[in-house]
Amino acid sequence: MRAVDIIEKKRNGETLTHEEIQFFVNGFTNGDIPDYQTSAWAMAVLFQGMTPKETADLTMAMAYSGNVIDLSDVVDLALDKHSTGGVGDKTTLVVEPIVNACGVPVGKMSGRGLSFTGGTLDKMESIPGFNASLTIEEFKHQLKTVGLVLAGQTGDLAPADGKLYALRDVTGTVPSIPLIASSVMSKKLASGAQAIVLDVKVGFGAFMPDVQQARELAELMVEIGVHADRKVVALLSDMNQPLGRAVGNSLEVKEAIATLKGQGPDDFRDHCYEVVAHMLILAGKAKNVEEGRELAAKAVESGKAIERFTALVAAQGGDTTVIEHPEQFPRAEFIQEIPSPITGSIHQIHAREVGLTVMQLGGGRERKGDPIDHAVGVVLHHRVGDNVERGGTLFTLHANDEDKAAQAVQRLLAATKISQKQAEPLPLFYGSVWPEG
């Protein structure tokens, strides 16, 4: 078997066999197949696509290219959720404790932010002392004893995906839906997930700009789950404007804590309850979405959800006093209200532009490894569909550099469209995708 034959076969639009995909992934991972051939293959996939079976075979080959964690000796069901990335997306910080408060263990491996998307681990590290670096043994022990873990990717998980993604990023092949789907799902399978809720973002602040593309991606990932004998459901959620009000690491953690105490923004709370409901359905704790949402609300109202978040922070060395005293979080030197230049209805708050603004303030990374300023960010005072008076506050800016703050003001105003015509609110979700049958 030769790599060039596999490249030509895919270039011609033919279907690759399980053996050919396994050969190619193994060869790329161990260095026998060079980057230039892998890049040619990825471009062929971008143009010709893959069948669901091919994509499932690719996913499994990448998942088993390194360590695969087995959590069956720790929990009856390894439940996970994954977001495809967005602006202000602190959903995991709320969803995990609520699900755990409903009696379901949740162990999640998360990533760090890059460019306009925030990273869950960066947010949690706003809490002094919080340790996101756990070994596989520590991860499993905490899941068994505490029932809740939120850590960085552990061990040599799906190394083929890491190598392939780095090539895709510099060869113009990132938008390939089969390659996106296999990338996401290979990491989930390698980390031991048996049941997964996928939160597929749609809009300006997402990698999928429209609902049709997002649905195609969601359907493919759900089908991969079927081939891999996993329970998978996908939600299509809006990311045209930031999720919630806060964008920026410590600001988002404070908003998550408020939500767990029943005090967060209504739309963000509703988004989290919807995700929780689907996780509880997969775990067999709820018969339908309505029952799942009711259980989520009870977990928050009873105080159990914030208790579980506190237990998570304590288990990973974090200072739990900030949960009761959010004023102890890092605070920016310059805090400035940005007023609306006109009276009207808000038609757009461009999520990606808001995310890039926070990145330039120091709250995100242009390159992997860049330092993070946990204190900076933006708080939105309105949503699309709201009316605002001239001089009324649109945003509150948190910055540690006056020049960057001045640039941020202009960028945020440019990202906001206000018109005399009344705007309609954006939906939270555009639907869901379940396995057929």
Instruction: Give me the residues paired with residue 107 across strands.
Output: 149
Q: What's the per-residue H, E or C state across 85-139?
A: CCCCCCHHHHHHHHHHHCCCCEEEEECCCECCECCHHHHHCCCCCCCCCCCHHHH
187 is catalytic: yes
CB atoms closer than 10 angstroms to residue 310: 17
CB atoms closer than 10 angstroms to residue 317: 12
Complete edge-to-edge strand list for the sheet that includes strand 377-380: 246-247, 377-380, 393-399, 334-339
Rounded to an integer, what distance in angstroms lies between the CA atom of residue 239 and that of residue 426? Answer: 9
Rounded to an integer, what distance in angstroms lies between the CA atom of residue 196 and that of residue 337? Answer: 40
Of the residues 82, 112, 215, 411, only one is catalytic, namely 82
82 is catalytic: yes
Rounded to an integer, what distance in angstroms lies between the CA atom of residue 427 and that of residue 285? Answer: 27
**7-27 per-residue burial string, b: 16 or more CB within 10 A, e: under 16:** bebbeeeeebeeebbbbbbeb
Of the residues 57, 89, 122, 161, only one is catalytic, namely 161
Rounded to an integer, what distance in angstroms lies between the CA atom of residue 332 and that of residue 373? Answer: 9
Rounded to an integer, what distance in angstroms lies between the CA atom of residue 82 and that of residue 119? Answer: 12
Token look-up 């709250």 returns 363
Of the residues 81, 123, 163, 168, only one is catalytic, namely 168
183 is catalytic: yes
186 is catalytic: no
Q: Catalytic positions, please?
A: 82, 161, 168, 183, 187
